[in-house]
A = this chain, B = another copy of it.
Amino acid sequence: MRVREGNKEADILDAAIKVFAKNGFHNAKIYKIAESAGIATGSVYLYFKNKEAILNKIFENLWGQLYQAISELKQRNDINSIDKIDQLINLFFNIFYNKPELAIVFVNEQINVSHKKDGLWLKYNERFIEDGEEILTDGINKGVINPNINVKAFRYFLLGGLRYMLDNWAKDQKALSINILRQNVKLIIKNGILS
């Protein structure tokens, strides 16, 4: 039998991230992904049921990583809630630091991932949200975070802000350093923009 050299599944995922980032999910052609992965078109289907399953796997990996990290973060006793949110922000920048194409996919293709309950990414996502809200609530209860902040509203705003920053950075990395973005998020989130 022919033995697989390397990891074809990973090759396909990497190729798909590139093609999805460049063309968007709907304009991404399977044969382009296969070409980029250095395999034949049909071989894609040895590893993934269909085009959507590739995108699902990308998000499964991503949200799995995000959930794993926030889960550990939540349990730490050595830092307070504000520092945990600081680390949470770092988390996003670190994950995408060397992967601008992944950032573009993360931000723009979430809408195309299947929301069927069989998706593992959805579970990770839900748990991530739970842990994130828990960190915030904990901060409010402990008096370090403004109790007037609505947890859900904060989540939307922070995540949305991060996503849009990452997307813009990824599309033109020279325009603005990722670290400037990181610092500004933290600054605004913690202190607002008043001088």
Residue of A147, A180, A195 ringed by the most chain B CB atoms within 10 A: A195
Contact check, A164 vs B154: say whether CB atoms are below 8 A apart. no
Q: Could you pull out 7 A-B pairs where Cβ atoms are within 8 angstroms?
A: A147-B195, A149-B188, A153-B176, A153-B185, A156-B168, A156-B181, A160-B161
Q: Does A30 contact B (CB under 8 A)?
A: no
In the assembled complex, which residues on chain B have CB atoms less than 8 Å from the CB atom of A46? none
Among all A-B residue pairs, the 6 with the closest Cβ atoms = A160-B164, A153-B184, A26-B26, A157-B161, A161-B161, A192-B192
Determine if A62 is an interface residue (Cβ-Cβ < 8 Å).
no
Residues of A within 8 A of B (CB): 24, 26, 82, 85, 108, 111-112, 140, 143-150, 152-154, 156-165, 167-168, 175-176, 180-181, 183-185, 187-195
20 additional A-B residue pairs with CB within 8 Å, beyond A146-B193, A150-B183: A108-B111, A140-B195, A144-B194, A145-B194, A146-B195, A150-B184, A152-B176, A153-B183, A153-B184, A154-B184, A154-B188, A156-B161, A156-B168, A157-B185, A159-B164, A160-B167, A161-B161, A161-B164, A163-B164, A190-B193
Contact A187 B156 (CB under 8 A): no
B residues within 8 A CB of A160?
Answer: 160-165, 167
Contacts A157-B161, A157-B185, A188-B157 hold; do A149 and B193 have CB atoms under 8 A apart?
yes
Copies in the complex: 4
Instruction: Among B82, B157, B161, point to the contact of A194 (Cβ < 8 A).
Output: B82
* B180 and A111 form a contact (CB under 8 A): no
Q: Are A164 and B164 in contact (CB under 8 A)?
A: yes
Most buried by B among A112, A167, A187, A188: A188
Neighbour of A191 across the interface among B85, B111, B176, B192, CB < 8 A: B192
Contacts of A185 in B (CB 8 A): 153, 157
Residues from chain B with Cβ under 8 Å of A189 in the complex? 188, 192-193
Per a CB cutoff under 8 Å, which of B144, B164, B191 touches A157?
A: B164
